[in-house]
Structure 1
Amino acid sequence: MEVRDRVLVVEDDSSITNLMKTVLRANNYEVLTASTGAEAISLITSHCPDLVILDLGLPDMDGVSVLQQVRTWSAMPILVVSARTHERDKVEALDLGADDYIAKPFGTPELLARIRAALRHYRLRTGAGSSPQGDFFQTGALRIDYARHRVYVDGRDAGLTQNEFRIVAMLGRHAGRVITYDSIIREIWGPGAQRDNKILRVNMANIRRKIEKNPAQPEYICTETGVGYLMADGDSL
């Protein structure tokens, strides 16, 4: 099973949402949608998308406010797609942390190209998939392929999202050692991230559901209560 990047489309115009959803799914992206800023923030927190497409003209708050809030704890790629074409709107969004700014109307090839570029730049910037230990790490039936950004269990692709992969990759690089919650949060979501373990717990629950035979009794990633997580020791290949 191929890992699909998860994209959250934040847009209150249903016709544009449906267009982007159709295009993204046709290009093998997993798609979530939100029509308000509050719903977007909730989905970002609970579902950890790999990329956000954000409209600025939302009914409950300005999209800039969503951008500002997310940037206090996450470095995930955010593409602003807006009918606002004034230069100051673009500059403001980029200064606040948007990775790109696309003016409406837009062509779907351009949108897809900018999504690919944003994801590629994010992974290069954060070093996702790099490992000082080599290209692979294996413990039991679990195998981390750092070059391909994949995790396999019994030869089957576990289907992790990019953030889930980065967590597993980090733990694999330090197998046999307890990595604190704060260290993982800083590594994955940036030094400005809130020290709230909720988003990490959500990711870990999803990871265990995908890689463990019994998530309630994990074999690969153990919890040191109140401290952090530990990847079972294994052999680097």
Structure 2
Amino acid sequence: MQDKILLIEDDPSISEMVTNFLSKEGFCVIHSSDGKEAMDLFEQQTFDLVILDLMLPKQSGIDCLKEIRNQSLVPVLIISAKDSDVDKAIGLGFGADDYLTKPFSMIELLARVKASIRRATEYSGHKEKSQRQMLHIHKLTIDIDNFHISKKGITIKLTNKEWEILKLFIQHPTKVFTKEQIYRLVWKEEYYGDENVINVHMSRLREKIEDDPANPQYIETLWGIGYRLGELNSK
């Protein structure tokens, strides 16, 4: 079965180039040139990946991303001509999984697309395991095999990468991870010093699991070194 991609891009030349290239690579690409139409398509169909431009007519890319995240954990790859740390923080802060700056190569796009879909497939595939490994960490209850986490009985929705970051610490409770190590292990790509990606994902994860994100207890920061599972959780 073909993986289905929703491409939301208003530039005709880019959308045609991306659609033709990914179609030749075996993907089914559904294209929309404005945010409102794209959200209608998203409501009507199931997609394995969304490629999203930030600058769109009728409904902005950020508003589309918010709407997608309110109902789905489908991986979202942002493509945009905007290249400031602020724009990356906004995009990734609202739950995007990856970010590509225009202009980009088709080879790089293909690698990001395959990596995002592969991670999402592995994420959902684990849910089918019959054996469940339950962990109770202070107020958190974590079902490792079924990718489910709750706090005091209330389900917490994590994106794929937020879950992978948390799982990394849970599986190595005494290890300190640098940002470079986290990026390579979770993103499975070379790290080029873009700390903002790690910072934004860590901030969002803490907002969801910590009682006080400004004073994190589950994932501690060792300034100048990296992060580790808090002592509260390793007992």
**Equivalent position of 1:167 in the other structure:** 165
Secondary structure (helix, strand or coil) at the match of 1:204 reads helix
* 1:34-58 residue CA offsets vs partner (Å, 9 max, x unmatched): 9963259946654453589x9xxxx
Q: What TM-score do the two structures reach when normalised by structure 2?
A: 0.58
1:11-30 equivalences in 2 (<5 Å): 11-12=9-10, 13-14=33-34, 16-23=37-44, 28-29=71-72
Match of 2:212 in 1: 214
Partners of 2:78 and 2:229 in 1: how far apart? 38
Q: CA deviation at 1:147?
A: 0.9
Matched positions, count: 179
Query: Normalized against structure 1, the TM-score is what?
Result: 0.57
In structure 2, how many angstroms separate the alpha carbons of the residues matched to 1:129 and 1:188?
A: 22
Q: Is the 2:75–2:97 contact (alpha carbons within 8 Å) kept by the matching residues of 1?
A: no
Unaligned ranges ≥5, structure 1:
1-6, 55-59, 78-98, 100-117
Give the secondary-structure state (helix, strand or coil) at the position aligned to 1:179. Answer: coil
Aligned residue number for residue 49 of structure 1: 96
Deviation at 1:119, TM superposition (A): 2.7
Query: 1:180-228 deviations in whole A, cap 9, x for unaligned?
Result: 2211110111132423221111011111111111111112111011211
2:144 aligns with one of 129, 143, 146: 146
- The answer to whether structure 1 residue 38 and structure 2 residue 81 are counterparts is yes
Q: Is the Cα–Cα contact under 8 Å of residues 92 and 98 in structure 2 kept in the other structure?
A: no
SS at match of 2:158: coil
Q: What's the CA shift for 1:33?
A: 8.7
Quote the sequence identity (%): 23
Provide, for residues 137-196 of structure 1, a one-character-per-residue CA deviation record: whole Å limited to 9, x for no partner: 332112221111122221221211111011001111111332222111101111324232
Q: Determine if the alignment matches structure 1 residue 65 to structure 2 residue 91.
A: no
RMSD between superposed Cα atoms in Å:
4.5
